[in-house]
Amino acid sequence: MILNNILFFLAAIQGAYCWGDLGHRTVAYLAANYLTDDASQFVNTLLENDQGFDISDGALWADSVKRRRGYTQTAEWHYIDAQDDPPRTCGVIYKRDCKAGPGCVVSAITNMTSRVNDGDLDTNQQKEALMFILHFIGDIHQPLHTEMLDRGGNEIKVCFDSHCGEKVNLHGIWDKDILYKHRGLKPSVSDHTILKEAAAQWAAELKSSNEARGMVTTAECSNINTAQKCALAWATESNGWICKYVLQPSVDWIEQNDLGGDYFNGAVTIVDDLIGKAGLRLGAWLNALAAARSTGEKFVVQNSERVEV
């Protein structure tokens, strides 16, 4: 009981979990659907998937280490705090919004892209770089991970299906509650087998809807030598939803209305679009990484300093 309280307290102060298990696992399984044989082999070998640790487990790892000794500097790599003025104006400006020292999700994607194929690093460092990529390409597609206002909405207390109070905030419902309700899961579900099954099913549906929309990996930004440009374009697209939907009704309205009704209904389409794009783009990225790996091609990181882990 005491232990439960301590764990609850720790969960409460640490705030949100990024897309949450369901979102990250779905992005990973969707990406797996797009992989070339080379890329599939590269990912499974580096992750040591023969031990039952699959691509979706790899995508969760970054959240599990962000408070661990030696990894605390990675906590800021999960988002970029755009200092825009929503819902009036949105926009991400790299120099303004990506903190020079710690970096942000855009610089983290760039750095980890350069590390994963770096033959001077040991296998475990390459594996960690891959797991960061699996996670951050998910996070960058969560609109509130590209917004500074109220710490990405973490400080905006809301009600969702009559659950209100300290624990329920705008960031958290976009990370988790909207997704779980959309996929028919109770918020209390934490069993990994159930979540993996739900994620695989959602990924299969998103693969079909991507196909129906003519969305293919080859049309996505996948030049790993211009990682920063690609990541900035993804962040900008994601941030655009802040003004178009997430904060569009105003913070006051959001605080005063239950978001489990019409707000939820409108959000579902956006979440499907963003998770669908994140999986497609992650797939394209891993294919490009695998192709460069097999040619032994090295590349130079542009406009970004590498951060050692």
Binding site residues, ligand ADE, CB under 6 A: 78-79, 81, 144-145, 147, 151-152
Which residue stretches of 15-84 are H helix?
Answer: 20-34, 37-47, 55-65
Rounded-to-integer distance, Cα 19 and Cα 276, Å: 13
Give me the residues paired with residue 288 across strands. none
**Chain centroid to CA 124:** 22
Residue nearest to Zn ion (CB): 18
- The least distance separating Zn ion from the CB of residue 120, rounded to whole angstroms, comes to 27
- Quick one: what does residue 139 bind among ligand ADE, Zn ion, none, with the CB cut-off 5 to 8 Å set by partner type? Zn ion
Give the separation between CA 190 and CA 198, rounded to whole angstroms: 12
Q: How far is the CB of 151 from Zn ion (least distance, A)?
A: 10
68, burial (CB in 10 Å: exposed 0-12, middle 13-18, buried 19+): exposed
Q: How far apart are CA 217 and CA 205, in angstroms?
A: 17
The number of angstroms, rounded, from the C-alpha of 175 to the middle of its chain's C-alpha atoms is 9
Q: Which stretch binds Zn ion (CB under 5 A): 12-20, 118-126, 217-225, 297-305?
A: 12-20
Tell me how far apart the alpha carbons of residues 164 and 87 are, in angstroms, rounded to a whole number: 23
Least separation, in Å, of the C-beta of 204 and ligand ADE? 29
27 or 144, CB closer to ligand ADE?
144
The interface mask with Zn ion, positions 37-76, x = CB under 5 A, is ----------------------------------------
Of 16-24, 31-39, 107-115, 213-221, the window that binds Zn ion (rule: CB under 5 A) is 16-24
Identified binder of Zn ion from the candidate list 21, 57, 81, 175, rule CB under 5 A? 175
Answer yes or no whether residue 78 interacts with Zn ion by CB under 5 A. Answer: yes
Site for Zn ion in 106-165 (CB under 5 A): 139
Cα 102 to its chain centre, rounded Å, is: 18
Residues forming the site for Zn ion (CB under 5 A): 16, 18, 78, 139, 175
